[in-house]
Structures are given as C-alpha cells and as structure tokens.
Amino acid sequence: MTNERFRDKAWGRTIVDRRRLLGALGAAGSAVATNTIPAFAASAPRNVTDAPADSRVLQSQPFYGPHQPGVVTPRPAAGMIASFDVLATNRTDLVRLFRRLTERIAFLMKGGSPPELDAKLPPADSGILGPIVVPDNLTITVSVGESLFDNRFDLTAFKPVHLSRMSKFANDALEASLCHGDLSLQFSSNTPDTNIHALRDIVKNLPDLLLLRWKQEGSVPAMPPKAGGQPESARNFLGFRDGSANPEAGNAALMDRLVWVSDLREPAWARGGTYQVVRIIRNFVERWDRTPLQEQEAIIGRRKASGAPLAGGVEHDEPDYGGDPDGKITPLDAHIRLANPRTSEAREHRILRRPFNYSNGVTKSGQLDMGLLFIAYQADLTNGFIAIQNRLKGEPLEEYIKPVGGGYFFTLPGVTGEGDFLGRALFAAAGMAVSGQ
C-alpha cells in the first residue's frame, strides 16, 4: 500500500523531471545525428570529469509480457549474472521474496525517483545513477536453480523436467564458490554502473530473503555502425566472432520452438519459461595470442577477421559439411563443427547464446584472468546445451579454455501485468496463497 502511494507520487515528479531531461538530451541527440563525432569535440570547453553524454540512458525495455525480458532482447554492452541463496524458510516468505523482487525489477527497468527520506536516515537508493534512476536499457531476468525444488518448500513435484544441478564436464575445473545457486539474476544494460545499481538495490531491499553467492560481470565490445548489409556478431576474448550461428531472436515462431518451453511433458506452470545455462569459462589468452593464426582458425572453424566459414564467404554463410566429409576444409574437431554439425537433429536443438566477455584481474601466475561469461537459453536443456557440450568433449580448443563456474537455472515465465508476479504460476500450482497483496 505504502509502495503504491510512493509510486504515484514519485511518478508525478518523474514525468516533469524526465521531460526536462528528454528535452535537453533531444538537442544533444540531433547534434550527434547531423554532425557525428566532431560536433562533440568542438563544443564548449569541458571538464575531464564531465559525465559522458549519451541519450541511450533513457532507453527502456518492457517488463510485462508472456516471457521475461533479457532473453530474446538484443544484448546491450554490459551484462552480469548474480547467483543467490534463498534465505526464506517457509512458503509465505518465499512468496514474499518473489513479490518484492518483482516490485523492485518493475521499478528499476522503468526508472523514476526513489522516495526521499529524512536526511537522518540512510537514503533509500544508493544514488549512483543520481536522484532520478534512468532505465538505461536495463533488463533483469530471474531464474531458479534445481536446489529451490528441494524439500524446503515442498516444490519437488513441480520441478521442470530437465532442470538439474550442473555436473562437471571432462574439461571443467569447477570452483564451488562460483557454482550453482537457488536463484540467478541476469542484469543487462548499456553500462556496468546501471547493472551494479540494480544489484545493490536488490541486495539492500531483500537482506532477509536473499544472500549473494557469486557474481560475474561482463561486457561486449561495440563496433562502428555499418552502412547496409547484415550486422555482424560481437567478438569474444579469443578475437573471434561469437554467436554467428545463433537462431534469429526476432523470429517469434522460431523462438517458440527453440527457446520457450511448450513441451507438454513439462509442468504447466513452466510454459513460457526457458532453461538458462551459465558458464564462467576462463580463456588462456596469453597462450592463445601465441598460437599461429591458421591454427586458431582451424580450432574454431572460422576465419578470424570476417567470421566466415573456412570455405570463405561472409559470417552468416552456412558451412557445407556435406561436401567436406573428411574435414579437409573445416576439421572434424573444429569447435563450430562439433557444436553444430548442421544436421536436422542439431538444427532442432539450437540454443540461443547471449554471452559477455569478462576480465577479472591477474592470476597468481601473473596471467590475465579473463574469458567468457557464457549464457545460453533453450527449451530443452538435455538436448540443448548438455548435448552440445558432450559433443565438444576433447575438442582442441580445450587446451585454451577452462570452465570454472556457473550453473543451470530455469528462467520463470514472464509477468503478465501489475497484479501478477514472478513465479506466481509455480506457487499457485504448488498450492500456495498467491492472490491479493
């Protein structure tokens, strides 16, 4: 009740502030459009500490819908996965957790003014985005781990069919402190600060319900806009384009088949959800950078500069394995050939990858601790990621990568409107009280 009132009040103020903000940014925006970069360089003297001006901070993504945002949403430049232990010990608190989480996410994705409290109290918001929280293209995607379906809440009978605790693959060196969790939050936005702001908001608002277990941030390198032609995939820290063979996220029918759960063997509440795979994959970049180009390309199965298949062409051309049965063009153990052999079976179990590059510091050996925050979504975890990863066993790329963490999660179906909240269908199916406020 208090929250509703605050929201109304906050929004009255926000609309005014935001109109002013939009007006100011509109002027700057058109200057950029007509004159491009030199206009900025030639403008009035600036202080080195002036904030970079970018009208994209006002971009926002819809929160409500049959599916959660952040899955087929185009990937912005900054991402983060945070995994939590759920501290609720009974069903009432579990429902309270997901209601509260829903409220916070709805606010953070839309933006607005946090309440102003008495200055003698700690402020309601960390303030790192200023007094008006801008949406900055933020999406927060909530997924639950297999451990949430243990005996704590009597949810065992309602577990999605394929959801399991991630088990070690042959090349993995999993660190317990970087694995699993009852709940994962994927934050994506235009800037790392926006993701951090959102994480701090959630940590501050749910201290009795969630305990942070691990987190990993990542980024995606921007490229100059390309006039005409197909957009190109971003590059990973091996310098190769990543995601070239991704199914088109804009094709709703395809996403319904490959990403969103609709299988009748799945519990009814799970329809419209998806399986999330997170893997923290360290790359041995010094060694990779000391590997001959032709060897790098043979290991991946693509041209490094263009991303095209080894037979040539452009990035999104399909490699012709039928005409290359012995691997004379694309080696049989090349990463892309093992991952996706382009059979009809593999075609039906393609996964939607949405990864970020991460860089954490320096290892004890003085090497760079960096790699790929692999994130993928699929309707069928067993035939999706797990089958692909099993095919990749023994690939030559293994010498250059080491998965150290991550987990399997189930991304809950979307929140359909203001009366709804994340996980409501699951809790209702399990007989919990979910109506009213």
Partner 1 sequence: MNLRGSVLAVLLLLPVEAPTRAHATVSPLDLVEPVAAYKLYVLDQLQSLVAGTRAFTDAVKAGDVARARTLYAPTRMHYEAIEPIAELFGDLDKSIDSRADDHERGEKDAAFSGFHRIEYGLFAHNSAEGLAPVADRLMADVTELRKRIEDLTLPPEKVVGGAAVLMEEVAATKISGEEDRYSHTDLWDFRGNVDGSKKIVDLFQPLIAKDDPAFAKKVEANFAIVDKVLEKYRTADGYQVYDKLTDMDRRVLAGAVNTLAEDLSTLRGKLGLD
Which residues of the shown chain bind partner 1 in the complex (CB under 8 A)?
A: 85, 87, 89, 117-118, 120-122, 204, 207-209, 211
Give the shortest CB-147-to-partner 1 separation in angstroms.
11
Nearer to partner 1, 155 or 234 (CB): 155
List CB contacts of 146: < 8 A, sequence separation 6 or more. Answer: 159, 163, 164, 165, 180, 408
Question: Is 204 or 328 the residue whose CB approaches partner 1 more closely?
Answer: 204
Judged by beta carbon, residue 87 or residue 429, the one nearer partner 1 is: 87
CB of 64 to partner 1, least distance (A): 29
90 and 195 Cβ atoms separated by less than 8 Å: no
Please name the amino acid found at residue 60: S
Q: Cα–Cα distance between 115 and 99 in angstroms, integer?
A: 19
Closer Cβ to partner 1, 209 or 412, answer by number: 209
Nearest CB to partner 1, comparing residues 22 and 117:
117
**Residue 120 or 364 with smaller CB distance to partner 1:** 120
- Burial (CB < 10 A; 0-12, 13-18, 19+), residue 8, is exposed
CB atoms within 10 A of CB 373: 23
Mind giving me the DSSP string for 103-155? HHHHHHHH-BPPPPPPTTS--SS--TT-SSB--TT-EEEEEEEGGGGSTTTT-
Q: Count other C-beta atoms under 10 Å from residue 213's C-beta.
A: 19
Closest separation in Å from C-beta 81 to partner 1 = 20
Least spacing, CB of residue 213 vs partner 1, in Å: 9
Between 35 and 89, CB nearer to partner 1: 89
- CA angle, 394 then 405 then 381, to 5°: 70
Nearer of residues 214 and 269 to partner 1, judged by Cβ:
214
Q: Which is nearer to partner 1, 36 or 151 (CB)?
A: 151
CB of 183 to partner 1, least distance (A): 13
State the minimum distance, in angstroms, from the CB of residue 125 to partner 1: 14
Q: Are 348 and 228 in contact (CB under 8 A)?
A: no
Minimal distance in Å, beta carbon 36 to partner 1? 47
> How many other CB atoms sit within 10 Å of the CB of residue 227?
5
Residue type, 163: L
Between 117 and 433, name the residue whose CB sits nearer to partner 1.
117
Shortest distance (Å) from residue 201 CB to partner 1: 13
> What is the smallest separation between the CB atom of 74 and partner 1, expressed in angstroms?
35
Residue 151 Cβ vs partner 1, minimum distance, rounded to whole Å: 12
Nearest to 255 by CA among 277, 243, 242, 272: 272
Using only C-alpha atoms, the chain has a radius of gyration, in whole angstroms, of 23
**Least spacing, CB of residue 119 vs partner 1, in Å:** 8
Query: Least distance to partner 1 from the beta carbon of 387, Å?
Result: 32
Query: Residue 403 is encoded by which pair of tokens?
Result: 């998965």
Q: Contact 10/113 with Cβ under 8 angstroms?
A: yes
User: 3-state class of 28 per DSSP?
Assistant: helix
Nearer to partner 1, 265 or 364 (CB): 364
Single-letter amino acid, residue 49: T
For 236-239, the CB contacts below 8 A with 24+ separation are 236/283, 236/355, 236/357, 236/372, 237/283, 237/285, 237/357, 237/359, 237/370, 237/371, 237/372, 238/283, 238/285, 238/288, 238/296, 238/300, 238/400, 239/296, 239/304
Which pair of tokens denotes residue 295? 């060897």
**Nearest Cα to 100, choosing from 184, 210, 213, 189?**
210
- How many CA atoms within 13 Å lie on the side-chain side of 415? 22
Which residue lies nearer to partner 1 by CB, 89 or 251?
Answer: 89
